[in-house]
A = this chain, B = another copy of it.
Amino acid sequence: MQIEIVTIGDELLLGFTIDTNGAYLARELAKHGITVARRTSVGDGAEDIAHAVGESLERTGAVITTGGLGPTSDDLTKPSIAHLFGRAMYEDADVVASLHRRWKALGRTGEIPRSNLQQALIPVGAEILVNAHGTAPGIWLADERGRWVAMLPGVPREMRGLFADELLPRLRGRMDGPATVVRSSTIRTTGIAESALSDRIRALSALDLEGLGLAYLPGWEGVDLRLTARGLPPDTADARLARVAAQLQVTAGEYTYGTGDADLAAGVLAALRAAGQRIAVAESCTGGLLGARLTAVPGSSDVMLGGIIAYHNDVKMSALGVRAETLAAHGAVSEATALEMARGARRALGASVGVSITGIAGPDGGTPEKPVGTVCIACDMDGASKSFRAMMIGDRGEVRQRSAQSALSLVRRMLLGTA
């Protein structure tokens, strides 16, 4: 099944809005074996909408639109497409009733504004896609030749709900025969370079990528491996993805920390919890980012005690007990200072694990010996300590993000016994 997506709104043509709706629909449709042949964005003008949707209908006979269903005078999706299909509009009593119910449920008094009721105007012969997440209903409109347009609202939350609840079941009912799908699976790694990872994977003689594509996606969190199955039936795709993903996880070994959108901080917290450990952080150049990563995870409070943001050297000494001699002999950005910071955080907060970051995030502050991007990270745990110095690439924000990720990775590998 081939379809086209038409996203509607002047904001898209002015670049004020990024078209995340189109990307979402494309991803979901591919997952279910529906091919998106083209995506188009047009403005709010009635003619522009009718032309774009009409052309898409000519090509594929199947179109999903988003946007232009609201109560304002700019919202012309329904009348333009009704006109294209040669249909009149009527005010639907059920939709009017639900608009009144919602008006009351929101605690509003007085008459419902006339403009709100515009949302109850429906093309004759259309089916209503009930919007459980907002006021504007979606519309399913088909002609006698079986060509159809599904109109979804532009608010992402509403669009996603309507797609899943109302549209996807209809599309599934129309698919004839066993579909082939595009599905993907992501394995997340950190602490290993793309080249080293690819060497490991190339050496894997048992790896059978038949029907699957493998992409290396490097970023500040590490290197993600994305496997994509195209042109396979759903069950075959899922089975091959699962088999090869498992192989890749074994191959990446201790550098793999999860699949999909797994978060390293959540993994570290789970490992700490399992080991009965409690953690404290000591942060200089990241200034709280590592603490923020750990506490972003719901339920982290049983394992994460807190930490010291020691941005100024005086604080490294007073709050963490870093010795003046260490700072004088090695500098604030040194493994020696990082180790004393990690121990200091552990001691000051009564934690069993201390982890620290000190570095030069830039853009200023670099020297020939310690250029911008130089970061020292240490972890102190059960009497054992590890530290390392690394060069983080990227701008200030990226250096900080990479540093926090590397610190989490060190804690994880120490817990695993592979640091």
Contact = CB atoms under 8 A, between A and B. Distances in A.
A293 to B, nearest CB: 8
A19 B22 CA distance: 9
Given A40-B39, A319-B306, A288 B283 contact: yes
SS of A interface (majority)? mixed
A314 B319 contact: no
Interface in A1-29: 12-20, 22-28
A288 B281 contact: yes
Contacts of A300: 287, 311
Nearest to A395: B298
A1 to B, nearest CB: 14
A314 B38 contact: no
Interface string A293-333: 11110111100111111111011001100000000000000
A299 B23 CA distance: 38
A289 interface: yes
A20 B28 CA distance: 19
A16 B319 CA distance: 46
Nearest to A30: B14
Nearest to A184: B16
B52 A55 contact: no
A291 B309 contact: yes
Contact of A311 (B36, B40, B295, B312): B295
A306 B311 contact: yes
A346 interface: no
The number of times this chain is found in the oligomer is 2
Contacts of A226: 16
A412 interface: no
A27 B15 CA distance: 4
B14 A26 contact: yes
Interface string A337-363: 000000000001110000000000011
A292 interface: yes
Contacts of A308: 306-309, 319
Contact of A281 (B39, B182, B309, B400): B309
A32 B397 CA distance: 31
A306 B298 contact: no
A290 interface: yes
Nearest to A293: B288
B13 A36 contact: yes
A296 B292 CA distance: 13
Contacts of A296: 287, 396-397, 400
Nearest to A291: B288
Contacts of A22: 15, 19, 41
B299 A305 contact: no
B309 A288 contact: yes
A48 interface: yes
Nearest to A36: B13
A17 B35 CA distance: 16
Nearest to A182: B14
A382 interface: no
A364 interface: yes
A182 to B, nearest CB: 6
A374 interface: no
A195 to B, nearest CB: 14
Interface of A: 12-20, 22-28, 30, 35-43, 48, 52, 55, 182, 184, 226, 281, 283, 285-296, 298-301, 304-312, 314-315, 318-319, 348-350, 362-364, 396-397, 400
24 contacts: A13-B26, A13-B30, A18-B20, A39-B42, A40-B40, A40-B41, A283-B288, A287-B292, A287-B294, A288-B291, A288-B292, A289-B295, A291-B309, A296-B400, A298-B396, A299-B364, A305-B314, A306-B310, A307-B308, A308-B308, A314-B350, A318-B349, A319-B319, A319-B349
- Lowest 4 CB-CB distances: which A-B pairs, in order? A287-B295, A288-B291, A15-B27, A288-B288
